[in-house]
Chain A
Amino acid sequence: DTTVKQNPRYKLARVGKPVNLICSQTMNHDTMYWYQKKPNQAPKLLLFYYDKILNREADTFEKFQSSRPNNSFCSLYIGSAGLEYSAMYLCASRLGFTSAETLYFGSGTRLTVL
Chain B
Amino acid sequence: GDSVTQTEGQVALSEEDFLTIHCNYSASGYPALFWYVQYPGEGPQFLFRASRDKEKGSSRGFEATYDKGTTSFHLRKASVQESDSAVYYCALGDSNYNVLYFGSGTKLTVEP
Q: Which residues of A contact B (CB under 8 A)?
A: 4, 33, 35, 40-43, 45, 48, 50, 55, 90, 92, 97-99, 101-108
Number of A-B contacts (CB under 8 A): 54
Q: Which residues of B contact A (CB under 8 A)?
A: 4, 9, 32, 34, 36, 41-46, 49, 51, 89, 93, 96-105
Q: Does A107 lie within 8 Å of B93, measured CB to CB?
A: no
Residues of the B chain whose Cβ atoms lie less than 8 Å from the Cβ of A92:
43
CA distance A55 to B99 in the complex (A): 10
| CB pairs A–B below 8 angstroms (18 shown) | A33-B99, A42-B4, A42-B101, A42-B104, A43-B44, A43-B89, A45-B99, A90-B43, A92-B43, A97-B98, A99-B32, A103-B36, A103-B44, A103-B100, A104-B43, A105-B43, A107-B43, A108-B43
Q: Does A40 lie within 8 Å of B104, measured CB to CB?
A: yes
Q: Does A42 lie within 8 Å of B102, measured CB to CB?
A: yes
